[in-house]
Chain A
Amino acid sequence: MTYEFLVASAIGVLVAGGIYLALRARTFQVVLGLTLISHAVNLFLFASGRLVLARPPILAKGVNHYTDPLPQALVLTAIVITFGMTALVVILALRSFLETGSDHVDGAIVPCDGQDGMAESAGEGEAP
């Protein structure tokens, strides 16, 4: 097994899982799907600099070969932006759930689980 195969197959599996989850009807699953796809995209971008062992792009005396620093710089900001995007989508999902009482991506009224009881009791309001 080569590292190339491991990384490539991991990207494939992440994409597959991500696509499947992103196509689900509940917001939280879509968030998870986006997280997986983001991982895959970040890995793919990183891999475009090719895989190199033990040659970090930290300049040192006597070392002449380094791995490609540019994809790393791009991916570093991408990771942070991914967080920003995930946070925004999660909050959007939460807000949409609180507004409609449903966690369906299109706001359709669907049954949620009975555990939290929020959707069921929302109609009652503050019962005296």
Chain B
Amino acid sequence: MAIAATLATLLVLPFAAALAIALVGGATRAVHSGLAAAASALGLALLGSLAPEVLSGAVMQARWDWVPSLGLDLALMVDPLGLMFAALILGIGLLVALYAHFYLYPGEATGRFFASLMLFQGAMLGIVIAGNVLLLLVFWELTSLASFLLIGFWQHKPEARQGARLALAITGGGGLALIGGLVLLGLLAGSFDLATILARGAAVRAAPLYPLALGLILVGCFTKSAQFPFHFWLPHAMAAPTPVSAYLHSATMVKAGVFLLARLWPVLAGTELYTVTVTSVGLVTMILGAVVALFRHDLKSILAYSTISQLGMLVMLLGMSLKAAALAAVLHILNHAAFKAALFMGAGIVEHETGTRDIRRLGGLAKAMPITALIATLAAASMAGVPPMGGFISKELMLYQTDKLALFGQPWLLPLLATLGAGFSVAYSLRLVAHQFFGAPREAEAHARAHDPGIGLIAAPALLTTLAVLLGLIPMALAAPLVAAVTGVVTGGAPPHLDLALWHGVNLALVLSLAALGGGALLFWRHGALMALWERATLPDAKRLFETALAFADRWVRKGIVALHTPSLQRMLLAVFAVTVLLVIEGALTGGGALPGGRPGLAAPLPAVIAWALLLTACAAVVNEARQRFAVLIYVSVIGLIISLAFVELSAPDLALTQISVEVVTVLLLLLALNLLPKSPPSLSGAPRRWRDGVLAVLGGTLFGGLAYAMLTRAPGESISAWHLANAKPGGGGTNVVNVILVDFRAFDTLGEIIVLGIAGLTIYALLDTTARGAAGARLGTWREDMPHSPERHPMMLLAASRIILPLTLTVGIYLFLRGHNQPGGGFIAALVVAIAFLVQYLAAGFDWSDARKRFGEHQMIGWGVLVAMGTGLAAMVLGAPFLTSAYDYFSLPLIGTFELASAMAFDAGVFLTVFGAVMLALAQLSHIARRAARAHAARIEAEGAGAGESAP
């Protein structure tokens, strides 16, 4: 298989498996776990086929353009570092799938579990094989989300929900910092391509913004890898099912931060800032985690703090910026993945068998479950760094490096503290094993039914422990080539020469190792006394601090929202207008210059002045008589009419046509709505408020009038209009430039607008369709006709005229539509005209008559309109042109002659359908409601009349 196809398959496999599992969510546990295991195994095989070449130095790369303008490519890259992590993710994923199959009970939502697990696997795989930092970010966020789903898998448990939320808040928040950091890094390096960034380390480190980028990236890494002070989410994540803890919170996800530190080592490492920060954070975390782990009682909590401690050690090693330290980190990543996953699985088995995870209730289990005890003991020995385990070698490599770096100028500081941390990890490992499996059973109940589980649960931890042991016995054969190659990549140089062995003679590392072992044993021996001391100390609880901070933020944000976003529309609008007025004043003051510019004006003839005076009068009348609502509609239409006339006069025939037809529809709409609304309610505002609003209104009007005048008396700047005029005919095939702009040059805009209009129409329908229920329905039911009506229900003259007008208006509409590309007209105007033609039928003949004869559905028209418009655009894409490119040609037919057909015509047809559908939907639905109310009213009158008639005799 070609490299690109292999890499793509590798990445897609887990996601495909997640989807497949979700689709067969109702199937049995075996189907779900089988699919997960098969996908992991297949991925592992694919990875295996790449391994020989990658280890010999080749870097597998594949790249597809995604959003090239942002520098975002779908770039995948497998080098030794990626290979090692991918192998861990897939290999442990396979074992976890096996283990989880037996761990979960058949009745549980295994479909959801395995689908989330595979989603996580895909996201994690994406992080380690991404070849573009933006792509890496996408997967990074995805792991936080998948982790949220998995921690909260047992949704009915409050601690699961809280743990999931806490983990999401911390890792998601760190993810935000990481976005800033990596984007900044990409800008500093001049590229988002990972390989390019890695090659430009010197330039990045010299940049003035390097500390900021470093800080943000470190926050991302530290949150994900549970480093102090962000460590506290990890123990709470233990509310997850144990397979999840083994997979996400020990072997893979929490190593994402470590991975990124290793990945960006060539770019970020080496500076004083980096070394001091990363090393000290790692060191503090290592000691803190180890100390706390010694005093926890829950098995998984002990393991969680030990994981924090071990991750701290890895971070510290990477922070030292030394090649040999990086090597120790790489080896320890392998060791830790093996022994920690095995320990978690062992803890899961113990919980399964005894029903408790409290170490104070366990003890002496070695007799009842010897195999589990053996596995856990060997794994814990590796964790403690006891020879001949793999953990001993990596811990020794670590201790060997500690005196190479004088932290804060003190050469003794690092060896001392590292040994202290190692001593505590010896102690908690000892306690974990001894209090669980040895000594006398503390509680009979927990002990009663304990025995070794079947091969299904044992197999995975057994395999991992074997690996942990072999990493100590035959490290050169098992791990050396991989570790060497990975270290070479991490440190950006040649692969180092390796000499992994248990015995290197007596040196500093051996002495420190022995000190740690001895110290650890001592701590464990005095554990009881230390425990009493620990319990007496009051320590800050990080989770409670977090929750206090959250509650604090919540309270103040709420106050801020209430202060800014009052529930009063009047107050908000007042603020909006006042601020706008202030902005215009500020602009006028700072802009300077005289109000009138130098541009000569156009002399207005008398009719224009009269129309202007009418408009002003109508405006005043609208404001003054706003409570006489029907009368106001007349003034409103006068305003609309005069604006239409202004458009005619000022060279905008299309606008005039649109304005006049919209005006008709708007007035019809307001009339229909007023039928149901109060007609002339009393005023609600007192005089002071009216004066205040009046002053603001006059001020605003003066300012905006002045603004318009200042603009109109100045020459326009450079504009792109000349291009549109020049290209309308050759490019768009039409002479009506406005229409060509709408359906061709700026068709994407128009598409958006008709979609908005369609949504408005559907929303209106939804708002009105449900009025029959609840309080609104009750009010509609008691509605009373309160307007004088014509004695004739459907006046004959109007009826006859409307019937004759219909075909004529339709013809006009079609004509306006067809000529729209070259003469004033087009889809918008034609739709409004045709809609008016139909609305006149509703007016004249009534809703029922018209509705019964209507052969179209408005919903479908809106839908088809948008589809047709989009289809036109997509057709252009199919033909290889950008979205919504139009084409036109000339055809000739006998009798009609030569005519032009443009694909933009089809787009305009979509516009027509949507606009027509939306207008009809709004008005027809409104009249439908009014009709229903009127009918209820009539029925009530009749009933009352009948009741009166009966009671009279």
Contact = CB atoms under 8 A, between A and B. Distances in A.
A87 B919 CA distance: 9
Contacts of A57: 651, 725, 736-738
Which of A12, A52, A60 has its CB near the most chain B CB atoms (within 10 A)? A12
Secondary structure at the A interface, as helix, strand, loop or mixed, is helix
Contacts of A42: 643
A98 to B, nearest CB: 4
B574 A97 contact: no
Contacts of B622: 17, 21, 32, 36
Contacts of A90: 669-670, 673
Interface in B731-756: 735-738, 741-742, 746, 749-750, 753, 756
Interface in B676-709: 676-682, 684-685, 693-694, 696-698, 700-709
Interface residues of B, number: 124
Contact of B626 (A5, A29, A101, A116): A29
B711 to A, nearest CB: 7
Given A24-B685, A36-B622, A88 B654 contact: no
A5 B779 contact: no
Contact of A112 (B632, B681, B774): B681
B713 interface: yes
Contacts of B832: 80
A54 B651 CA distance: 5
A28 B669 CA distance: 12
Contact of A115 (B701, B741, B786): B786
B915 interface: yes
A117 interface: yes
B728 interface: yes
A11 B729 contact: no
Contacts of B728: 59, 69
B919 A83 contact: yes
B738 A76 contact: yes
A76 B716 contact: no
B564 interface: no
Contacts of B822: 58
Nearest to B743: A73
A85 B759 CA distance: 11
A122 B778 contact: yes
Contacts of A118: 779, 782-784
Given A4-B601, A32-B632, A56-B651, A16 B669 contact: no
Given A4-B602, A58-B823, A76-B828, A47 B708 contact: yes
Interface-centre pick from B700, B705, B775 (highest chain A CB count, 10 A): B705
Interface string B612-645: 1001100110110011010010001001100100
Given A19-B693, A80-B658, A106-B568, A86 B666 contact: yes
Given A1-B604, A17-B622, A116-B678, A7 B712 contact: yes
Contacts of B780: 98
A7 B604 CA distance: 11
Contact of B570 (A49, A56, A87, A105): A105
Given A3-B601, A98-B775, A15 B701 contact: yes
B776 A99 contact: yes
B255 to A, nearest CB: 52
A56 B570 CA distance: 41
Interface string A15-38: 111111111111111111001100
A18 B623 CA distance: 8
Given A91-B922, A105-B569, A115-B786, A72 B652 contact: yes
Contacts of B725: 57, 59, 66, 69
B693 A83 contact: no
B176 interface: no
A59 B735 contact: yes
B655 A76 contact: yes
A56 B627 CA distance: 40
A95 B765 CA distance: 11
B697 A16 contact: yes
Interface in B597-612: 599, 601-604, 608-609, 612
Given A8-B706, A19-B693, 18 more contacts: A2-B604, A5-B601, A12-B703, A14-B639, A16-B698, A19-B696, A26-B684, A32-B626, A57-B736, A59-B725, A75-B655, A80-B828, A87-B760, A93-B673, A101-B779, A106-B569, A111-B681, A113-B680
26 contacts: A1-B603, A3-B601, A3-B603, A6-B604, A10-B612, A17-B622, A19-B696, A21-B623, A23-B577, A23-B696, A25-B684, A26-B678, A26-B681, A35-B636, A43-B708, A47-B712, A49-B721, A57-B736, A60-B735, A77-B742, A81-B756, A94-B676, A101-B779, A118-B779, A121-B784, A122-B778
